[in-house]
Amino acid sequence: MSQSDQFNQIERYEALMDVVRNRLTNRAFDANYEVPKEHYELIIEAARHGPSGANAQPWHYIVITQPDMKQKLADSFVTEQTKRAKMGMKFPTPNYRGMATAPGLVLVAADFRFIKAFPVFNDDSELDKHYKVNAERILLQSVAASVMSAHLAAAALGYAVWWVTAIGQEEIQEQFKPLIGLPEELSVIDIMCFGPPKKESYKRWRRELPEIMNYDTFNMDNFWTDEMIDEWIKTKRHRVMYRDANNID
């Protein structure tokens, strides 16, 4: 292959983008569908190749197959949702009941102890604390890169996906760690749901390319003031979270 062909594999790129563009979120699934066991393996095989700080791979995937466990998870998220609403949180929480309908449900556990394997001093000095803030960011980004690969794999197979980042973590963790035998040292930071969607999925709003892309200097046209963010939260957030991109205005 010539150099220009070797680094211009457009067909390969398009095959990837067919998955990237069509990784569609859904929050209710066909509960009667059974995920073939090999699909779990195919999906977590993708996660296995994720890049990570110090190549530590600080992740574990726990496939939940038991319907009563899924129901319990959904229930605890609904409880959290109710609690928040009572306390006056204005966030337009999704309907977590859909978690119980997910034929595929995988808990993602992070091992935060690997922070000590990253660029830190491990001597509890002020400087160490400074580096540990960065190190925790490295760990979270590492796990997310792995989870993203899993989501793309599920989407490639044809499934709708739902990436749940844990809420009210401590309470939910205390409840669930014993049920799945997860040691204290590990933390469930994401839940991945997938399966055939109950109703057809649709594409949600994305910023246009020029809004996020800049050459050499940041284009101030792309900057949102605090007021713009507040306005977006008030008038757009619930639409871009739940509606078809063609129907947000």
Footprint of its own copies on residues 159-178 (CB under 8 A)?
A: 159, 163, 165-167, 169
Measured between alpha carbons, how far is 249 from 245 in angstroms, rounded to an integer? 9
CA 148 from chain center: how many Å? 7
- The conformation of residue 25, written as its DSSP 8-state character, comes to B
CB of 234 vs its own copies, minimal distance in Å = 10
Residue 70 engages its own copies in binding (rule: CB under 8 A)? no
Nearer to its own copies, 97 or 243 (CB): 243
Site string for its own copies, 81-110 (x = CB under 8 A): ---x--xxx-x-x---------------x-
Question: For its own copies, which residue of 82, 119, 231, 247 counts as binding (CB under 8 A)?
Answer: 119
CB of 129 vs its own copies, minimal distance in Å = 13
| Distances 149 to 120, 144, 203 between C-alpha atoms, Å | 27, 9, 19
CB of 173 vs its own copies, minimal distance in Å = 12
Beta-carbon contacts of 182 under 8 Å, excluding residues fewer than 6 positions away, are: 62, 109, 176, 188
Measured between alpha carbons, how far is 27 from 97 in angstroms, rounded to an integer? 9
Residue 157 engages its own copies in binding (rule: CB under 8 A)? yes
- 66 touches 107 (CB < 8 A): no
CB of 95 vs its own copies, minimal distance in Å = 14
Residue 132 engages its own copies in binding (rule: CB under 8 A)? no
